[in-house]
Structure formats: C-alpha cells, structure tokens
Amino acid sequence: MAGGRCFALGPGLWQLQAAVAPGQGTDDTLTARCAFHFCLDNSGSMGRNTKEAQDCFAQLVEHATAPCSMTVFASNAVTLSSSLTTPAEVRNLMLPRQGQTDISSGVARCLELIMEQEAGSAVATGSAGAVHHVLFLLSDGAHNVGPGPAQVFPRLAREIRSKAPQLRLSVVVVGISSSSSTCHGMLGRAELETVPLTRLEPIYYANSAAEMSTVLGELEVGILGLVGGRVARVELPPGTEGGFVRVPGEAAVGSMEVFVGPGGGQLELTLQAATAPSQLVVDGVKLTLTEDAFDEHVATEAVKRLIASLRERRVGSRTFDGSAAVAFLEPCIRAIANHQDAIFAASAEATKKDKRLTPAARVRQHKALAGAQHGARQLRNQLTEAVTFHSNDSAEQARFLTGASSKYGAKALRRAAGHGVSHFEAYVQSVAATAQELRLALRQDLLGHLARLQPEQRAVVARAMGSMPHASEDCLQRLIRDAQMLTPESCDVETATLLDSGCLVEALRKALGDCAASVSFVSLLSQWEQLAEWVQHASDREQIRAAGVGSEYELLMYVGMLGFPIKVGRSAATQMDPFQLKISFVHASPADSASICCAMQSEQTVSAPEGDEVKDLLLLVDPDCPNASGLALKCKLFDVYTSVVLCRDLHMYTGTPMRIALHAHALMSVVGSAGAATESQLEIALRICYSARKHFESEPWQKKEYERLLTQMQDWDELTTKEGVMDPSQLFLALTVFCDSERFADAVAPPAVLMALNETLARKARHRFKSQAGAEAHKAKILAAECVRGFLGITEDSAPQAAATDEPEPARADVEAGCQRDVNLDTAHFDFENFTLESLVPTLSAFSFAIALHAAMEQRGGGWSNLESDMERGRPAYKDVLAVLQSERPAMELHGACDFDKAHQQRILATMTAQAMLCSDSSERRELPDVREADTLSQIAVRLRMDTYSGRVAMKLQDWRAVAVDVTAARARAADIGQFEGMIGCHAHGLCKGSFWGLWDAARHDGYGGEKVRAFLSKANQDFANKYGSKDCASASKKR
C-alpha cells in the first residue's frame, strides 16, 4: 500500500488509517520472532492447579517462534527453564515446594530473564527489539509476602526504559478466583507493557479453579489468532508536530509499537496534532495520508478502543485522571453525535414526505435511525462507567474490564431482541401462515360490509368504483348486489382480485363518510389496509427474510395491526401476575403497532393527537374487521407484543390471561374516571367488551372463569385474591361483558357493591402501607395500626392496664368487656374521608357504566349478541346505546349505592377505612362485620385497645422472667451441691430458659473448676460442655 487516510475526530485530534502488508518494512527478510514467558503462581492455595496450569501453558509453546521460559513464584521466584521449545519440555518441568504469594518477585525474575535474552538477541542480530516477548502472569491470590507490586512494578518499568528501550513486551493476565488481584495484573500492564495486544482480553478471569482450564482454553484460541503476526513501529516523519494517543488524558508519544495481525492489517491510530498529518512512517517506510470526510463507523470504533484503555487504567493505575480523560473524549463523542443528528434529520425529513412506509421500508428506516441515535449515547454511557467505576473486588474488576458488567443501552426491548433463532423461526412461520389465512378473512369482512350497506350507500360505492380498471361492470354490480350470498372461497378470480385490491375499501370510506373505519394517525392505514399489507408483504418466509427481518422485534415492525394508545404502569410482579399492571389512559385515536414498535426501537417520540407520548397499544378484535383482526391476534407474533406491553420483554407471554388483563385494566381506565364520559370513550369501552367476548369465544375456559366471578358478585360471596379475584378490574369486565345476564340486578345490589368497594379499599390500603414499609409485611401492619389509632383518636391511656407483676391477670373476656368502646374521629391526623371517597370513585363509576349498559340492552333487546352484530354494521347501528350511556348513566353516590343514611357517612367511611387497613389480607377478610353497623367501629376500637393491653401483659411477663432468673440464681448460689443437683434435675436442657441460665450463672460464680460447674456440665449435652466448659471457651463463644 502506498498510503492511507485521516479525518478530524475532534478539535486537534485525527483518526489515521493505513494498511500494512505482512513484509512491509525496511528489512524484507525480517521474520516475526515471538517468545512466551510464563510467570506461574505456585502458592499453597493453588495446590494441584499449578500443575494443570503448567499443562495448559505447554500447549502455547507450539505457537512461539523463539525459546520460551517458565518461572514459578511462591515465597520467592524460581526460573525452571529459559530454553523451552516443545510442549513436552514444559510438562516435564518439576515444580518446587509451594509457599506464600510473592507476585513481585515472580514478575521481576521474568523481566530479568527477558532483558538477558533481549541483550543476547541484540548481539546476535545486530539490532534490539528483534523478538516480541509475551509475559503470561497467572495467580489465584493476592500478594502477601515481600515488597508489593505497587512499589516494584514502577521500578521495573524505569529499568526497562533505561536498559532496554527497544524492548517489545506484551503482558497477558490470568486471574483465578476472587482472591486474585486484578488490580495488580492491570498495574503490570500499565507500567510494563510496550506492545498492547488489543485482540486479546484485558484479563482472562476464572471465578474458581474449576473454570481455569476453560479460561486457559479461551486464551489459547486468542493466541492462535495472533500466530503469524508481528510488531511494527509507527512514527511521524522528523519535524512533524504531534503525537500518538494510547490512553485518553495521558501524554501523547512520538512513536509507538503496534501489533500487526497475520497477513498484515489495517492500522487504526489516534493522533493529537494541530493540523492534519500528511505522512506516516511504518517500520521506516513513509506512507502518504489523504485527508478524508468524517467516517462515523471508524470514529466510533476508535472511541471504543480508547475507552477500553481507560478501563485498564482505572483498575491498574495509581494516578488515573478521569477529568482529563473526559475532556479528551467528549469532543470526539460530540463529533459523532453531530454526524448522527444530521443522519437523523435527513431520515425524519424522508419520513415526512412519505408516511405510508412499506414493511420493508419501515425496517430499513429503523436500522438507519437506530444506528444514528444510539451510538453517541452509548459511548457517553461507556465513558461515564469507565471514569466512575470503583471496586476492590477482583471479580467485579474483571467483569468491568471485559465488558461483562456493562449496563449501558440495556433496555429490556433491546435485550430481548437477541433471543434464540428457534423462537424467531417459529414466529416467522406463524406470520406467514397467518397471512395465508388473512386473505380469506379480509374478503369475508369486506363482503359483510357490502351486504350491510343501505341502497344509497351502495350507489356511492358503485359510482366510486365505476372508473376502476380492476374489474368489469358486471363483476362490480354482481358483487354489490349479491355480496350477502358470496363466500370468500366461492369467489371467481375477477371478484377475488377486486376484493384483494383495496379499491373497495376506499369506496366504502366514501360511502360511509364519518362512520368509516378509523385510520392509524401514524401510517394513515385502516385496520383492513394494515392487515392487507401483512398479506401482501409476508405471505411466505422467504419474502420476510428478503426484507432484512432478522429478529422478533424487527418482525413486529414489519407487520402489525391497529390499536388504541395506552399508558401502562408496570411492576416486577407483572411478570408473574399480569393484573399487577395499571393503565392510566386510553386514547381514542388509533395507531398501528408496526409504526409504534419502529419508533420505540429507534427511540423516536410519537405523540397522540390527544397530546401524550405513545409507547404501547391495546390491540382488540375490531368490529370493523372482525374476522381478520380476530385471526391476526391469534398469531404468535402478538403473543410477543403482549409480552412487550406488559413486561418490556419479548419472551414473558404466559397465555390469554395477559391479554384479558389488558382488556380489564383498559376498561377500568375508560369507565372509572370521574365526570361525564365522552362518546369516543364510551365507544372504546364497548369495543373492549366486544373484543373480550370474542376472546372468550375462542377460549371457553376463560369465559367460565369470568362467569364464575359474576356469580360470586350475584351471590354476594367474598371477592378476595384467595377466591380468584386477582384485581377488582376483573369484576367489572365480567359485569359488563355479561350485563345481559338474568341475575344482573343481584350483582349490582347494595351488598355486592359494598363488598366490591371494601375489597378495592383493602387492596389500596395494603399497597399504601407495604410501599411505606419497603414491602415488609410485619412493618406494614404496624404502620396501618398506628394510622387507624390516629384517626380514631385511640390513645395509650384509653387501653386497659396490666396488673402488677406479682398479681394474676383477669380473664381476657372480662378485660374486653370493660374496655372503652368510644372513638374520637380526627381527620387532621389522617383524612380518611378523602382517602376513601377518592379511592372508590373508579369503582362507583364502573358500576354506573355497567348499570347503564344493562339498561340500554333492556331497552333495545337482544342482549350482547344483538349489540355485537350492530357494532359490526357501524356506529349508526348502535348510536342508541351510546346515547343511553352518555345521557342516562346514573350518578352513583356512596350512600345510595350501599344503602345507608348519608347522615352516618363519616362514621361509615371511618369504619370502611379502619377495616380495610387492619384487615387487608385475604385471610383476614372472611366474615367481617358490616361496616354500616354502628357497633362495627366500636369493635375495631376495642380490638386496638386490647392489642395495647396484650403488649402490656407481654412486657409484664418479660419482667417476671427476668426476676425469676435472678431469684433462681440467688437460690442456686446459696444451695449446697446436693441441693444444686436437685434444682438441675435429671437433665439441664429440660429446664426453662430462665432457670437454665440462672443455674449456670450460679455455677460459674463458684469458678470454672468448682463442683457446681462440674455438676451442671455432667447433666448438659456435649456441645454445651465443649462450648462453655472452660473460661476461655465461654468468653470466646458465649452469646446471650
């Protein structure tokens, strides 16, 4: 090669690229000579692992081209041989006796040997630096004898620079177990190494000796990749200003040694200079450099290499300057970010010009935008991690150096996108198979729409289709006239082509006007068009692969369907129980899942027309496209999407309950809001119910489950988690999808409403106090009781007092009968009224919606089956239902819904709150007294005061036991040996705790050699005698 190129990496920084041929240099006969020097830990902790490591190192000798050496260190260092040329010679070396760990002496001895060989090589060849020396340092423990590496390694580095300035030395570190000192290995690399081997790991680390052979095997693979390479010297021409950068923040150097892989390779160098360099000297050969345009990929890789060098310095250097490193790299990262912003702006402009991207274009756009956005952000995260890292743990340091602990960019969606190929192939097959079935389903939905058109609407469709070239006039007229008699399978080729073309969809949109199916505000496609796109672009696996789809998430960007934007609140528990999620809003403007997934993965912000950012969609069986949307949702790909929405992971789908959970929570979000609902909100609620019923048709066991929940409400049974109610939203999904039930009135009667309200409040209280207690159940109970005491005005003084220590307690029933029963409500301590009323608004609103929906169905007749049919016909067919829901929805007030006098509302609210807080667990909520009864609050007050009384009695017993121990000890000290043995009985461990330790204290009072000690120990078990049988044992081990 005659030259290379360079470009500006930042102010005063240049990235250089130059290709180097295998023999390029001043001496074409120069052969790459390499010697390996093994510095092996032979301390006692290594045991037989020293021999195993010796055998593993023997394999590496085959790859050296100069004599190798083996040095072992324990309490001191010994060179076993300096002329090893075969694996057998290494294996036959006899290991000396093991001892402590003196890492410094081992490395110092190796370097003495290396410099001796270097001097001999210089005499033989007439030039220094002819041999590339590689030092392998393996240890399983920290340095524990002799001067430490921190003192020795810098001195050794100075000696190398003064005595062998041309020495070409690389250091490879192997750490075994967390007892090894990763920082000492990195210090050795920082101080001693002159030729970094960037193709190898900074450290080869094994968590235990059992993993050592595996790690050394990985090292051998890395060494194999270097065989045939050589060291080259790079420098700037004389008189050229500037220097090469090895580590950001450290001084630049005028020349340096770099390793060139087998067959030559591309040199990647970072130069600090005011102006662009025009030449580079490699092994004495001048190469011309041409200034080039900014190359984002090369710049990113350069910054990554510089950050990797920072990691080593962070762990090994004693003088690491993080601020200087940041000041050096930040301009480089900013240059990359500016370049990426320009790419992003260009892509965004292209998107504005053509919103209707094809699936393949959507995937290509994502890949372009993902690359444009993530690079600079990821580099900044890596830099921050490298600069701020701090740990004295060797295992953690090793993970940091090798990148195993990296967390930057580790979002769940991105992690999940790399899952196994077998999953992906199954999803591709499912998408392609679904596409085949969707073609017929889409035809069926179109025929259904045509069959339901009014005469004037059919005329509009005919006029709109009159000029279309897709079909003859006869075919069009026959299709419009006989749509109800046609089936997707019986259509002739001309009719099928017309149905598949999409022209009819445009004509229907004109005919239906405002009642036409909505379109995605992102892709501008209707549900039918979105699914038709699926059929057109994903009908077979090869077609999908040809579009560049390579992961599950890219598949989600490739095909999709319309859904309503939702905001999902997740917790860790959502992965196990999907009903632990929360949905805070559902917007009426639909979006398509493919576009939203593309935006999410590319980290673009998509805002709904209503104003909120859209990250998730609620996918429903769509009455505008019932057959096709229902079929599409059965595709395995939407199992993946459901998993993403609930858990932000591609592979956490556990079945239909996850989809039903989304339906239930979305319904509560829509109908549970305070105030009058809009017509669009009510329509969403109906669509959610419609979709849930369609899911129940295909999953009969789920239908039975929700019928059971409705029966529980109708029978006024318990509604706790133990009874299968994972979340109250399930109750209202059951109440609405089966609101045409004969016993609906029982499910909304005051007892049923009150039970649902109490259960909702209990769960709210449990969540409140568990959050305050850091999920500690016992602490949460204490906090709840303190809160109830506060707002009921129950003080310590109002609770019964315990009797004196020497007096027995009366019967508990008698104490309880005499306990105070009054309360003094205090909303200043805790506003229980506001807490309860606010908590119950969504539940009361949901009951109101269900009652109104039931009334609408009663008026029109036919129940849900009739409403489903009308929803498929279009909004005009069910506008009467929307009108009833909007104008005749009852205003549910607590006293009316639960059948109590409003004058007593404050007391009842206090009772509901107290009962919910004190009995928040399922096991505590069985057969609770009616909160509407005045005596229920008195019972709660008595319970709290009796709890205080019980605590006082417990303290009294504790005091009594302490007195009993003192009395027992005093009696035992005064007793003679016969009386003492009688007090012990046949076995000391048969005594109560107080008597046992009281007698033992008395025995020790006479001294450990006394009769009472011997008598006590003779009747105690052997373990006690071993632990406490002497003064030394007792003082060292007794724990009371």
Return the ∠ at Cα 969 (arms to 964 and 972), rounded to 5°. 125
The CA distance from 1020 to 1025, in Å, is 7
Rounded to an integer, what distance in angstroms lies between the CA atom of residue 568 and that of residue 308?
38
| SS3 annotation, 174-222 | EEECCCCCHHHHHHHHHHHCCCCCCCCCCCEEECCHHHHHHHHHHHHHH
What pLDDT, in 10s, does the model give residues 79-121? 999 999 999 999 999 999 998 999 999 999 999 999 998 888 7
**Distance from C-alpha of 796 to C-alpha of 800, rounded to nearest angstrom:** 9
User: Residue-wise over 378-388: b if at least 16 C-beta within 10 A, else e?
Assistant: bbbbbbebbbe
How far apart (Å, rounded) are the C-alpha atoms in residues 637 and 650?
10
Tokens of 403: 């990148």
Alpha-carbon torsion (1010, 1016, 1018, 1023), positive or negative: negative
Q: How are beta strands 243-244 and 265-272 bridged, if at all? A: antiparallel
Closest CA to 50 of 16, 107, 95, 14: 95
Total length of the chain: 1040
CB atoms within 10 A of CB 896: 14
Residue 405: exposed, middle, or buried by beta-carbon count in 10 A (0-12, 13-18, 19+)? Answer: middle
DSSP state of 986: S
Contact status, residue 789 vs residue 910, Cβ threshold 8 Å: no
DSSP letters spanning 65-126: SS-EEEEEESSSEEEEEEEE-SHHHHHTPPP---B---HHHHHHHHHHHHHHHHHHHHHHHS
What whole-number distance in Å separates Cα of residue 701 and Cα of residue 719? 20
- C-alpha 459/C-alpha 508 separation (Å) is 11
**From the DSSP assignment, how many helices (H) and strands (E) are in the chain?**
41, 18
pLDDT reported for residue 437 = 93
CA angle at 78 for the pair 73 and 84, rounded to the nearest 5°: 110
Q: Report whether 413 contacts 648 (CB < 8 A).
A: yes
C-alpha separations of 913 from 28, 32, 749, 753, 883 in Å: 90, 83, 21, 16, 36
CA pair distance 969, 422, nearest whole angstrom: 74
So what's the pLDDT on residue 355? 52
For 946, residues 6+ apart whose C-beta sits below 8 A from its C-beta are: 799, 800, 812, 815, 816, 819
pLDDT means per 10 residues, the chain with 1040 residues, are 83 90 46 86 89 92 92 94 94 92 94 90 70 93 86 92 91 87 87 90 86 88 86 89 91 90 83 92 90 90 91 82 90 88 68 63 66 69 84 79 49 38 80 93 86 76 64 70 74 77 73 74 89 91 88 90 93 81 92 90 84 93 94 93 87 87 95 83 95 94 94 93 91 94 92 95 93 87 94 92 81 90 93 93 93 93 93 89 87 90 94 94 89 94 93 80 69 81 86 82 81 88 81 43
Three-state SS string over 37-77 comes to EEEEECECCCCCHHHHHHHHHHHHHHHCCCCEEEEEECCCE
State the greatest distance between any 2 C-alpha atoms of the chain, in Å, as a whole number: 124
CA 498 to chain CA centroid, nearest Å: 48
CA dist., res. 86 & res. 375, Å (int): 47
Give, to the nearest 10 degrees, the angle between helix 656-671 and helix 636-647: 50
Is 631 in a helix, a strand, or coil? helix
3 state DSSP class of 992: coil
Identify whether the C-beta of residue 385 lies closer than 8 Å to the C-beta of residue 408: yes
Beta bridge partners of 279: 288
Strand partners, 139: 175
Q: What pLDDT is attached to residue 356?
A: 59
Tens of pLDDT, residues 128-180:
668 999 999 999 877 888 898 989 999 999 999 899 888 999 999 999 887 77
User: Quick check: 919 and 766 in contact, CB under 8 A?
Assistant: no
Residue 493 φ/ψ, nearest 5 degrees: -60, -45
Instruction: Tell me how far apart the alpha carbons of residues 344 and 338 are, in angstroms, rounded to a whole number.
Output: 10
- Enumerate residues 6+ apart whose C-beta is below 8 A from 377: 409
> Strand 33-41 and strand 616-619: pairing?
unpaired
Cα(555)–Cα(536) distance, integer angstroms: 15
Residue 40 and residue 105 in contact, taking contact as beta carbons nearer than 8 Å: no
Let me know: does 202 contact 186? Beta carbons within 8 Å. Answer: yes
Compute the CA torsion angle 904, 910, 915, 921 (nearest 10 deg): 130
Q: H or E segment at 590?
A: none
Nearest Cα neighbor of 694 from 619, 642, 630 is 630
First to last CA, the chain: 81
pLDDT of 365:
66
Contact 231, 168 (CB under 8 A): yes
Neighbours of 225 (CB within 10 A): 13
Q: What is the DSSP string of 125-155?
A: HSSS--EEEEEEEEESS---SSS-HHHHHHH
Q: In sequence order, what are the beta bridge partners of 271?
A: 14, 244
The SS3 assignment for 269 reads: strand
Q: What is the pLDDT of residue 403?
A: 64
Instruction: Give, as one character, the DSSP assignment of residue 580.
Output: G
The phi and psi torsions of 720 (rounded to 5 degrees) equal: -85, 175
Q: Give me the pLDDT at residue 471, please.
A: 58
CA-to-CA dists, residue 994 to 806, 961, 963, 966, 1039, angstroms: 17, 7, 9, 9, 15
DSSP 8-state code for residue 572: G
Strand partners for 132: 34, 168
Burial letters 275-294, b for 16+ CB under 10 A, else e: ebbeebbbbeeebebeeeee
